[in-house]
């Protein structure tokens, strides 16, 4: 795709687009709103050179880590396999960047769509070099068998590639994850000195980058859900305090926070795929200083994606959700870890806060704080026999016209990691792309996006936002935000769905 426009310039290295952003400033005058439309000029500069990208996964030997690595290798080497349903070709279904499309315009009256990945130059997932850590020493072939996610025939075909991949020893603070994980922790960096741990992880990152001749590395936590650390401004509040707390091996510094700090100190962006409060203010300050991004928290894969879609639809239709009861049962290692109350609490929070802003936006349905406090219940049960095939059952009870009730009962079954792996890939590819984009507002100097990369909120259950920026959870708004950003950077028109060119030529 090539954009021909007076507002877009391209040379060998950069694509610069000029965009007049239309917004509306609202002033309150007593009980009246005064709306003042305004236009602000933005320029977006995208470095079109595609780097050699390395990714280090924390929890590489888990269900997500093995499914992602094996799935990408299957695509890279076009490995086909057989199951009782026949012969399968590898694909990237479930990946926003690889398997979804964006409308770029109209040809006569026909709408034209292209793959998301073709709007701006992006890394090909098959070119990513993977590495990482796990507290379990199994090589990735054995770890994939343990995970029981991928069809047996594909596991066998991937074995020669995966058995050479062995996770690095990791740091293990048993107090932060469930006690039932202790029996797999046979690949652990010894000692209790958190500063030494940080330095070892930093060296691992530097070695990985150098040995694989990489332009950049991104770290992503896909290890077990930790309990929340007890956040304290004196311990976690600034970069300096955080480093001091690491030096003194403070008990409330989690393993995930050590990895986040190591990433920042090595100049790598860090993504938190679990719900715990890894990205404390001190980490954000470290990231800011290093000029890298942090993003989180907790991958938004199935049940929550649906929830933020259905609740957006109901509230958008003027229907009032009054209760959401979400059950899950699953039998994989994630479920085993979440069977401990402290870890469940972290997950409960991210699964529960995901509709708050959608409800809060509608003061017709929810005029008071009390009414916003709907009956939203989260239950997770560990049932080993179900393996990675997670069952999610939700009942949504809403109030309709004249005091009537509308109830939806939703049953969702799938391999959790077959949804998570393509989503993880998207997080990595988009994070890398956003490292190459700069913007300038009203002809000021070009700058990078804010340190906390809330552009990725479509992929997160509890999206972390820059301070002062409200979080958006509604799925269609999150997707529109991402789609419009890449379109604007490419010099394309943002679609407001009026379709005037189709209606009136
Ligand atoms: P898993 O339990 O199969 O994998 C986690 C891996 O992390 C294990 O291999 C474990 O040995 C390792 N680990 C634990 N502590 C570690 C440490 N300190 N350093 C290095 N490795 C460590 O779990 P799964 O299914 O892969 O999920 C991973 C994370 O992603 C969990 O926190 C889960 O809640 C979260 N998540 C998963 C989703 C999914 O659909 N699979 C969706 C949303 C979030
Ligand atoms: C229990 O629900 C296990 C969790 O790890 C979830 O399966 C995972 O976070 C995915 O959740 P969701 O709501 O995005 O499908």
User: What is the pLDDT at residue 297?
Assistant: 94
The whole-angstrom separation of Cα 112 and Cα 206 is: 44
Residues marked active site are found at 298, 347, 390, 461
Q: Does residue 503 carry a pLDDT above 90? A: no
94: nearest Cα among 336, 410, 420: 420
Closest CA to 92 of 128, 145, 121: 128
Closest atom of ligand 1 relative to the 388 alpha carbon: 25
Report angle CA 337, 59, 169 to the nearest 5 degrees. Answer: 115
Q: What is the pLDDT of residues 194-231, one digit of tens each?
A: 999 999 999 999 999 999 999 999 999 999 999 999 99
Tokens at 71, concatenated: 């799935």
Do 174 and 182 touch, CB atoms closer than 8 A? yes
Three-state DSSP class for residue 234 = helix
Nearest to 389 by CA among 305, 437, 458, 332: 332
DSSP state of 90: -
Provide the token pair at 73: 């290798």
Q: What is the DSSP letter of 412?
A: E
Q: What DSSP state is assigned to residue 184?
A: G
The set of protein residues with a Cβ atom below 6 angstroms from ligand 1 is 58-59, 61-64, 133-136, 170-172, 177, 184, 222-225, 255, 273-274, 298-299, 301, 332-334, 337, 416-417, 419-420
pTM above 0.80, yes or no: yes
CB atoms within 10 A of CB 406: 14
Q: Whose CA is nearest to atom 8 of ligand 2?
A: 301
Q: Is the pLDDT of residue 431 over 90?
A: yes
How crowded is residue 473: how many other Cβ atoms within 10 Å of its Cβ? Answer: 25
* Ligand nearest to the backbone CA of 297: 1
pLDDT at 505 over 80: no
**Both tokens of residue 413?**
């079954």
CA atoms within 13 A on the CB side of 492: 23
Cα–Cα distance for residue pair 233/271, rounded to 1 Å: 22
Q: Which residues contact 182 (CB under 8 A, 6 or more apart)?
A: 174
**In terms of Cα–Cα distance, which of 304, 317, 319 is closest to 366?**
319
From ligand 2's centre to the CA of 328, what distance in Å? 8
User: How far, CA to CA in Å, does 296 sit from each of 128, 234, 384, 400?
Assistant: 21, 23, 28, 35
Residue position matching structure tokens 């073709």: 118
Q: Ligand 2: residues within 6 Å at CB?
A: 300-304, 328, 330, 334-335, 338, 347, 351, 380, 390, 416, 461
| pLDDT (tens digit per residue) in 111-161 | 999 999 999 999 999 999 999 999 999 999 999 999 999 999 999 999 999
The interface predicted TM-score of the complex, written ipTM, equals 0.98
- Residue 8: strand pairing partners: 17
Site to substitute for ligand 2 among 63, 304, 308, 457, most atoms within 8 A of C-beta: 304
Nearest CA owner, ligand 1 atom 35: 274
Q: Which ligand is nearest to the CA of 307?
A: 2
In order of 236, 260, 394, 401, the CA distances from 321 in angstroms are: 37, 37, 13, 13
Q: How far is the CA of 303 from the centre of ligand 2 (A)?
A: 7
Give me ligand 1 centre to Cα 219, in Å. Answer: 14
Quote the longest CA-to-CA distance of the chain. 72
Q: What distance, in Å, lies between the first and last C-alpha atoms of the chain?
A: 23
Q: Ligand 2: distance of its center to the CA of 279 in Å?
A: 20
Q: What is the mean pLDDT of residues 181-204?
A: 97
pLDDT tens, position by position, 14-59:
999 999 999 999 999 998 999 999 999 999 999 999 999 999 999 9
pLDDT of residue 205: 98
Say how far apart CA 214 and CA 194 lie, in whole Å.
Answer: 27
Q: How confident is the model at residue 455 (pLDDT cuts 50, 70, 90)?
A: very high
> 226: closest CA among 279, 270, 188?
279
Ligand 2 probe mutation, 223, 325, 333, 334, most atoms within 8 A of CB: 334
* Distance (Å, whole) CA 208 – CA 203: 8
């Amino acid at each position: 795709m090539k954009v021909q426009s007076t507002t877009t310039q391209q040379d060998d290295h950069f694509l610069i687009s000029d965009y007049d952003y239309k917004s509306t400033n609202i002033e309150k005058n007593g009980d009246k709103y005064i709306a003042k439309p305004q236009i602000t000029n933005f320029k977006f500069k995208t470095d079109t050179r595609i780097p050699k990208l390395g990714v280090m996964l924390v929890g590489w030997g888990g269900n997500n880590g093995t499914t992602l690595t094996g799935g990408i290798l299957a695509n890279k080497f076009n490995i086909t396999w057989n199951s009782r349903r026949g012969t399968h070709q590898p694909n990237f279904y479930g990946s926003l960047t690889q398997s979804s499309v964006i409308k770029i315009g109209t040809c006569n009256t026909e709408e034209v769509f292209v793959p998301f990945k073709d709007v701006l130059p992006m890394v090909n997932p098959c070119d990513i070099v993977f590495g990482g850590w796990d507290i379990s020493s199994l090589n990735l072939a054995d770890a994939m068998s343990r995970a029981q996610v991928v069809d047996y025939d594909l596991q066998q075909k991937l074995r020669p590639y995966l058995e050479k991949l062995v996770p690095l020893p990791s740091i293990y603070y048993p107090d932060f994850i469930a006690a039932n994980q202790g029996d797999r922790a046979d690949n652990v960096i010894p000692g209790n000195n958190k500063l030494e741990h940080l330095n070892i992880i930093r060296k691992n990152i530097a070695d990985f980058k150098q040995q694989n001749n990489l332009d950049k590395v991104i770290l992503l936590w896909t290890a077990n859900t930790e309990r929340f650390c007890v956040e304290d401004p004196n311990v976690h509040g600034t970069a300096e305090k955080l480093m001091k707390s690491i030096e003194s091996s403070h008990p409330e510094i989690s393993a995930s926070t050590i990895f986040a700090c190591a990433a920042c100190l090595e100049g790598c962006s860090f993504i938190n795929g679990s719900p715990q409060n890894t990205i404390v203010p001190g980490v954000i300050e470290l990231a800011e200083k290093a000029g890298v991004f942090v993003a989180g928290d907790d991958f938004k894969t199935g049940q929550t994606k649906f929830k933020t879609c259905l609740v957006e639809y109901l509230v958008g239709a003027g229907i009032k959700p009054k209760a959401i009861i979400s059950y899950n049962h699953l039998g994989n290692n994630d479920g085993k870890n979440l069977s401990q109350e402290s870890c469940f609490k972290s997950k409960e929070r991210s699964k529960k806060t995901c509709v708050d802003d959608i409800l809060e936006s509608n003061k017709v349905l929810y005029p008071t704080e009390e009414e916003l406090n709907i009956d939203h219940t989260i239950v997770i049960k560990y049932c080993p026999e179900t393996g990675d095939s997670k069952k999610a059952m939700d009942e949504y009870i809403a109030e309709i016209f004249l005091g009537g009730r509308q109830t939806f009962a939703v049953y969702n079954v799938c391999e959790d990691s077959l949804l998570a792996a393509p989503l993880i890939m998207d997080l990595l590819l988009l994070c890398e792309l956003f490292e190459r984009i700069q913007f300038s507002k009203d002809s000021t100097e070009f700058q990078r996006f804010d340190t906390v990369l809330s552009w990725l909120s479509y992929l997160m259950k509890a999206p972390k936002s820059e301070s002062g920026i409200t979080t958006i959870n509604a799925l269609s708004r999150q997707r529109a935000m991402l789609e419009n950003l890449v379109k604007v950077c490419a010099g394309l028109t943002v679609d407001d769905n009026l379709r005037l060119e189709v209606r009136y030529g």
